Each structure stands twice: as C-alpha cells, then as structure tokens.
C-alpha cells in the first residue's frame, strides 16, 4: 500500500488495523517489520497521501477501493486442520465491509486465498442491506521478503482478476489504472477471478517445486561426487529451465511456500483429485527430508552423537534480509538437535530472541540454548557451526580466530553453501556442504 501511495499521489491510501500498537508503530520510524528500503518508501508518502489508522468503519465508508490484506494461515483446528487455509480473517473483513456498506465499492483480495474465495466474499456482500454495489477482484501479491521494495517497484507482472461482465471489466480497469502509474501496461495481466486466485498458489507451488527438485538432486550429488552448484549451473543455462531458484539449501522456509502447497493440495482433494494432491505434497515431503538429512549429516560427522555437545547456530531467519522466522528450516534443525540433547549457541542479526524461543517452544530459562550478539561469540567453545541463513555478514567471518576458540575437531556445516570452502578448510575446519561430497 505504501508503494501505491508513493506512486499514485492523487489517491489517498489509508491502512487500517484493529491493533493500535501496530498502527502506532507504522506511524513511527520503528516499523513493525524489517524490510530494506521500506522506511524510505513509507516516509515519502506518510502524512501526504498515506495514513495508518484504527478507524476501520469510517475508512471503509470513505473508500472506493478496499484491499483485503489479512493473514490466511494454515488452519490449526477442525476440518482441514494442518492443510486448508484459515479464512476467518478474510470473512470478518467481508462482513465488516457489508455492515458499513456505502456507495460503489471495489473489494480486492490481496491476501493469498484458495481458489473460489471470492465467491464467499461476494455472498457475504450480497447479504448487506446497506444498499451498496460492489465488484470483487483478485490481485495477489508476488513480492518476496527481503527484496519487497525492488519487487514492488519493478515487478515481473501485476495480476488482476475479476468478473468478465461489463461492471467487472470496468472495476479491473480502475485498479489497472492505479498500477499503471508506475508499471507498463503490458506487465499488468488481467484474467477472470478464478485464474487469478489459482495463479498465486500455482506460482508459489512451482517456485517451491524447483527448490525441492534441486534439493533432491543435492542428495544424489553427495552420494556420487557430483557438485550440486555445477549441476544447477549446467541445467540453468538452458533457457527453458532458467537459472533462478536453483540454489540448493537446507530447505525452503517462510510463511508462504509450505502453507500454499498444503492449501493447493487440500483443494485438489476437495475437488476429487487425490493424485494431483499427492504430486504437490511430495514437494513438502522433500523439503522435510532435506532438513532431516542436514541433521543426520551433523550426527554422522560428529561420531553419531551430539549429546552434551555445543553447536553454534548462525542464522535463524528463513532467508537473509528479514527478521521473519516463520517455517524457517532453522526451527526443524534446532528442534532435532535439541532432541538429540545438543546445546545451541544461537546468533541471528535480526530475529529477536523471543521469536526464536517461541518458534522452538522453549521458555526463557531453558539452559540448552544461549543467545549471542555476534557469530564469533556464538561459536566460542562449540564443537561445530551450523550456518542456516545466508546473511551477507557471514561471508566476512574471521574464520581463523573463530576456529582457534572452538573444540577440536571443529566442524562447519554450511546449510547455504555460502562460505568460501578454501578459506574454511585453510582455517582448519572439517567442512560439510549441501550437495557436495
Ligand atoms: C515467496 C515467493 O518467492 C513470492 O513470489 C511470493 O509473493 C511470496 O512467497 C508470498 O507468497 O508472499 P518469500 O517466501 O518471501 O517469497 O521468499 P523466497 O525468496 O521465495 O524464499 C523462500 C524460501 O526458499 C527461503 O527459505 C529461501 O532461502 C529458499 N530458497 C529460495 C532456496 O532454498 N533456494 C532458492 O534458490 C531460492
């Protein structure tokens, strides 16, 4: 929304939330999320045509276009538990809009939702007796965390779906004209509602599938002496395959990939397509296998036991340049190491200690984990380092100094193939990388 406000100076953009604390933080210089470049974009428009408020009903009343941008987590209760998307926040937004009503509105689904959610929104709006007319559109978001500003400034495409009726097409054109103020018209794709909703889930499923595919090959590389980066490079130069999203890793994380694939597979089950559901489920299974395999390699290298040994965890975020740890591979890796009775010395440049503790379901007094302000301090006195997030600062570690203060043999498990292998080995470490023998 900040990017729309920055580029569409003639439109007033008001972001509303029930949570006063969050809105206060959006109105300060201490934004609730860490995203490089975001503060500058917010500051460029805040107070001019960008506002943050808790006045939900008034804002609904005053607006022509309403973007529903709420959480759609995986359901953790009842039918579809662990797979289906929990749509209660989308539903309560739709009910609120129906309650307030007022004139002619375009209601846009920005949240990631299962295909045909717009039908539910339409049904709720149609029951409103506040005498208003509406069109429901789908405009999924494709930005990635850590690169959000660049992705929004210069997206590969913007997707807008709506009814193919005269009114639907007019509503689509209104939203197109917003984006068109900074994005070329040929990069704005318009479709019917269901294609747009389904394209979002499909894009994430395809991206995650690429990572699981290359991670599957990484296991074979380790067994055969092939090098996964060489294989990725060799296949990525085929323009039909392409070079991006072929970086083998300890596994993908984040709030989207797993959630969206599970949701896609749940939809397939629902529509009577169990084989299709199983096909996509395998992408998640391969990701779990990759995280397990990483821990198994640590165990194998450390004489089959990590009990009582201290391991430094470098990076907890699901990727660099974010403080988000949702579904981070670090959660599974650390949990398994704790089950094996290891002690963990954790350092992440951005993820707060409380987030790490709650992700691992530990209380603050748990003696098996300690938190550190830098990588060197975390590694002090440990038997091994497990690098789990590709933060740039880890490329500049003083490896000789770190090695000197560790138990021997000192192991370095590089879960992102980030560090120069020659430097790690010259410092004295036993190095273990993904997809390399
Ligand atoms: C993902 C999609 O990339 C966005 O297009 C989408 O809009 C977003 O989900 C969403 O649905 O909101 P995000 O989860 O923020 O974005 O981050 P990604 O860059 O896709 O990374 C996801 C995970 O895959 C990370 O853990 C990353 O380290 C891992 N990854 C990525 C790899 O292991 N290898 C790669 O080659 C690329």
Q: What is the pLDDT of residues 260-270, one digit of tens each?
A: 999 999 999 99
pLDDT of residue 437: 80
What number does the ligand 1 atom closest to the CA of 390 have? 28
Q: Is the pLDDT of residue 189 over 80?
A: yes
Question: Which atom of ligand 1 is closest in space to residue 324's alpha carbon?
Answer: 15
The whole-number average pLDDT for the span 327-334 is 98
Residue nearest to atom 12 of ligand 1 (CA): 256
Q: What pLDDT, on a 0 to 100 scale, did the predictor assign at position 102? A: 82
Percent of the chain with pLDDT over 70: 100
**Can you tell me which atom of ligand 1 is nearest the CA of 244?**
36
Q: Is 91 left (phi over 0), alpha (psi -120 to 50) or beta?
A: alpha
Whether 191 has a pLDDT exceeding 90, the answer reads yes
pLDDT digits (tens, 9 = 90+) for 306-322: 999 999 999 999 999 99
Look at residue 234 and tell me whether its pLDDT is greater than 80: yes
Return the residue matching tokens 């749940």.
Answer: 266
In this predicted structure, the answer to whether residue 195 has a pLDDT above a threshold of 90 is yes
Mean pLDDT of the chain: 97
CA-nearest residue for atom 11, ligand 1, is 256
Which residue among the candidates 8, 93, 221, 256 is catalytic per the annotation?
256
Active site residue 256: yes
Residues of the chain with pLDDT > 90, as a percent, come to 98
H helices present in 192-328, as ranges = 193-224, 228-236, 257-270, 274-301
pLDDT at 77 over 80: yes
Lowest-pLDDT range, 11-25, 118-132, 175-189, 341-355?
118-132
> CB within 8 A of 39, min separation 6: which ones?
29, 31
pLDDT over 80 at 119, yes or no: yes
Helix (H, G, I), strand (E, B) or coil at 63: coil
In the predicted structure, residue 1 carries a pLDDT above the cut 90: yes
Q: Does the model's pTM come out above 0.75? A: yes
Q: Is 141 in the pocket of ligand 1 (CB under 6 A)?
A: yes
Q: Is 363 exposed, middle or buried (0-12, 13-18, 19+ CB in 10 A)?
A: exposed
**246 in ligand 1 pocket by Cβ < 6 Å?**
yes
Q: pLDDT tens digits, residue range 196-211?
A: 999 999 999 999 999 9
Q: Is the CB of 227 under 6 A from ligand 1?
A: no
Task: Report whether pLDDT(194) > 80.
Answer: yes
Tokens describing residue 318: 């699901």
């Amino acid at each position: 929304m900040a990017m729309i406000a920055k580029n569409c100076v003639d439109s007033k953009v008001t972001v509303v939330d029930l949570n006063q604390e969050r809105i206060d933080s959006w109105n300060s210089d201490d934004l609730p999320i860490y995203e490089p470049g975001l503060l500058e974009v917010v500051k460029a428009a805040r107070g001019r045509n960008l506002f943050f408020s808790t006045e939900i009903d008034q804002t609904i009343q005053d607006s022509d276009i309403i973007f529903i941008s709420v959480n759609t987590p995986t359901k953790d209760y009842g039918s579809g538990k662990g797979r289906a998307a929990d749509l209660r926040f989308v539903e309560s937004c739709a009910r609120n809009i129906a309650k307030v009503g007022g004139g002619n509105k375009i209601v846009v689904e920005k949240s990631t939702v299962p295909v045909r959610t717009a039908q539910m929104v339409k049904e709720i709006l149609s029951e409103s007796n506040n005498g208003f007319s509406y069109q429901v559109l789908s405009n999924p978001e494709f930005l990635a965390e850590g690169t959000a500003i660049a992705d929004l400034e210069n997206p590969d495409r913007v997707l807008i779906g709506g009814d193919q009726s005269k009114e639907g097409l007019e509503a689509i054109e209104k939203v197109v004209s917003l984006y068109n103020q900074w994005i070329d018209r040929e990069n704005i794709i318009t479709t019917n509602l269901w294609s747009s909703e389904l394209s979002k889930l499909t894009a994430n499923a395809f991206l995650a599938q690429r990572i699981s595919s290359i991670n599957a090959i990484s296991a074979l590389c380790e067994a055969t002496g092939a090098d996964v980066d060489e294989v990725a490079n060799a296949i990525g130069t085929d323009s039909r395959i392409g070079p991006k999203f072929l970086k083998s890793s300890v596994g993908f994380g984040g709030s989207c990939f797993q959630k969206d694939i599970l949701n896609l597979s749940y939809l397939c089950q629902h529509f009577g397509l169990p084989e299709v559901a199983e096909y996509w489920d395998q992408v998640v299974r391969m990701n779990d296998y990759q995280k397990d395999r990483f821990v198994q390699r640590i165990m194998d290298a450390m004489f089959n036991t990590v009990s009582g040994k201290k391991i430094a965890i470098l990076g907890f975020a699901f990727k660099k340049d974010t403080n988000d740890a949702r579904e981070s591979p670090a959660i599974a890796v650390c949990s398994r190491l704790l089950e094996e009775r290891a002690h963990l010395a954790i350092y992440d440049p951005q993820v707060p200690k409380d987030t790490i503790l709650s992700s691992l379901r530990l209380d603050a007094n748990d003696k098996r984990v300690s938190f550190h302000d830098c990588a060197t301090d975390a590694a002090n006195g440990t038997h091994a380092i497990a690098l789990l997030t590709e933060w740039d600062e880890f490329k500049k570690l003083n490896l000789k100094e770190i090695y000197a203060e560790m138990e021997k043999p000192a192991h370095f498990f590089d879960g992102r193939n980030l560090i120069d292998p020659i430097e790690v080995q010259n410092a004295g470490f036993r190095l273990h990388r993904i997809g390399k023998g």
